[in-house]
Structure 1
């Protein structure tokens, strides 16, 4: 399962009654650990890999102005700063792979944003397609292949989707503004083409760009791709509604209910999908597999390869939960839970009086 678009921005608000049969609460409770880096006002954890390495973004505020953020990797009680390029002050991590490679963007003395790769905290500028532009790396697979976007001077100024592989930066082609947001371990890339009519999802594979199409409307936005090349996301329909979709073998399947808006946010290699639905009276979430939908109470954040689902409860104060098949494990207050690894480690943040603190639960 690849990292989802915009994971750092927020956990999607998805309210839901529980899977088909009511889940049974477990006697075990999730225990929280504050992993906020010292000396910073606010922080948020945005991803965790199978080794328990968590990426964090920390911020400070001076005279009511937010200062450039700095990224960290936390592991086993230790923070490693993700340093900027020479002369820069800020970094923002976006993804981490199973080997501990981190990608995102970092500042330099000359550029506010360059696509960067970090290994053990040391930055590497991945370059840009015309060496004058800016950009960000958005996703990395376990082979160290990286995708993202460059803001270039090409054709008077276009945002171009790129693939970085073994030191070589490749433009993924097509016309107009494009951004690549995900890549699986087979080198299949997902992204968005920005058109006058709206956003159109695409898949890139071995030099071939494929438009994902839509569910009858103008837009489609992919959110995740698994190792089988199955893609999920959101598309508009002929009546302008937004519906969750599953794309496979060139065909887009509508996962949404007959009425209201919906979107899919994650898919694992078992083709289990999580997403959200909304109507004038409620926002809900769902899990979908093989044509069967099930619902869950709470704000869903992530799905792992075992099919476990992590998130926060719908009530106030929100509380962390982990749904393991039919067992519901709960814990203390949590503002957002947006990452879950295959060992059952959850990552997100909690509210504190002066901001937020990056947190994990296990």
Structure 2
């Protein structure tokens, strides 16, 4: 039995003469929250016994599970050197870096500390940022942190009662949120100083920052509606009702609302209209995870009848696939029996070049 499904899809740019074609590769199954770098690597999660484990997939097909006895974990960040940021769960909670060569560094947390769901990330210098909840009850403190080479520092709160960090770029700029009890505000730390991002909305949160300083996140309107937004040149751009999933260094973004979109050159493209879902043999685009600088998108497909779904990579044809297509590609010749997997929670509930597929 053929153990790997590859599909071919054409993505036609709405209102434009040119068409962009994508190869669709299936990741290990099951797979969730798959992050990409530019080195033909991916890192994400697999479900094992009802628990999520972090996994890295290398260009040669090698799969590395980020396992520590007694703990399970999830991947929260992934950089160009192949280092993954892992949040571990067990009797206690912790953070750790897992390097390409197999070494790992556990990041100690202060006593009575819980990592918040505000997001956490790392840059190519292995600088880690996030948010932590220290203490209990009225003495609890929620603050953003920055960790590098064994040193943990709390970020300047800028006079806000609570704050958290979500992402850091290679210039050291950090984005996140701050709150005084009147609604969260998206913020950016430059040279250690907190600045509030311009937003006409009731509340906002910054989730991503690229190396050019473009910021992505969400805002909340007066009716409680969630909007995917980006900040460029100090101004907030509203992409529409939904949740921003990722941005790349070329200024493209992917976001999900009632549909799934690619935003580039100032406009949003409905991916569901660009991908002929009939060519996916009934599977529908289910979620978006990441986009790298070559425009490759990690996503998931779902069978609306059985709710089976699996991670895929949408890759432009001009990017040389690894391995070569003839090793893995099935040109819509038939169906596979696809293993079922546990549905991950939606973003609202919780918080490289070509990446090869794994032979099952």
Q: Give me the whole-angstrom Cα distance separating, in 1, the residues matched to 2:254 and 2:209.
A: 13
CA distance in 1, matches of 2:206, 2:321: 26
Tell me which residue corresponds to 2:263. Answer: 287
Whole-Å separation in 2 of the counterparts to 1:134 and 1:30: 38
Residues 141-290 of structure 1 aligned to structure 2 (within 5 Å): 141-153=123-135, 156-174=139-157, 175-194=160-179, 196-215=181-200, 217-238=201-222, 240-256=224-240, 261-276=241-256, 278=258, 283=259, 285-289=261-265
User: Matches of 1:142 and 1:196 in 2, distance apart?
Assistant: 34
CA-CA distance at 1:313 after TM superposition: 7.4
Indicate which of 32, 35, 54 corresponds to 1:47: 35
- Shift in Å at residue 188 of structure 1? 0.5
Which structure 2 residue ranges, 5 or more long, are not aligned? Answer: 1-10, 276-284, 323-335, 344-354
Deviation string for 1:264-285 (max 9, x for gaps)?
Answer: 433333323333454xxxx363
Seen in structure 2, the aligned counterparts of structure 1 residues 212 and 339 have a Cα distance that, compared at 3 Å, is farther
85, 93, 101: which one aligns with 1:113: 93
Matched, 1:140 2:122: yes
In 2, the alpha carbon distance for the partners of 1:59 and 1:309 equals: 21
Q: CA deviation at 1:113?
A: 0.8
- 1:317-360 Cα shifts (integer Å, max 9, x gaps): 89xxxxxxxxxxxxxx96444787995779xxx99344269x95
1:124 paired residue number: 105
CA distance in 1, matches of 2:314, 2:23: 18
The gaps in structure 1 that reach 5 residues or longer are 1-15, 37-41, 319-332
Q: Please say if residues 38 and 292 of structure 2, whose CA atoms lie closer than 8 Å, have aligned partners that are also in contact.
A: no
Report which of the two has the higher share of strand. Answer: 1
Residue 352, structure 1, aligned to residue 333, structure 2: no
CA drift of 1:314 comes to 9.3
Give the TM-score of the pair, scaled to structure 2.
Answer: 0.68
How far did 1:45 drift? 6.0
**Aligned partners of 1:156, 1:97: CA distance in 2, in Å?**
35
2:56 matches 1:70: no
TM-score (normalizing by structure 1): 0.68
Distance 2:55 2:24 in 1: 24
Question: How many residue pairs align between the two structures?
Answer: 302
Q: Deviations over 1:236-295 (max 9, x none)?
A: 345554433332343323344xxxx245433333323333454xxxx3635242x44544
Contact 2:244 2:256 in 1 (8 A): yes
Distance 1:53 1:272, change over 3 A: closer
Deviation at 1:146, TM superposition (A): 0.9
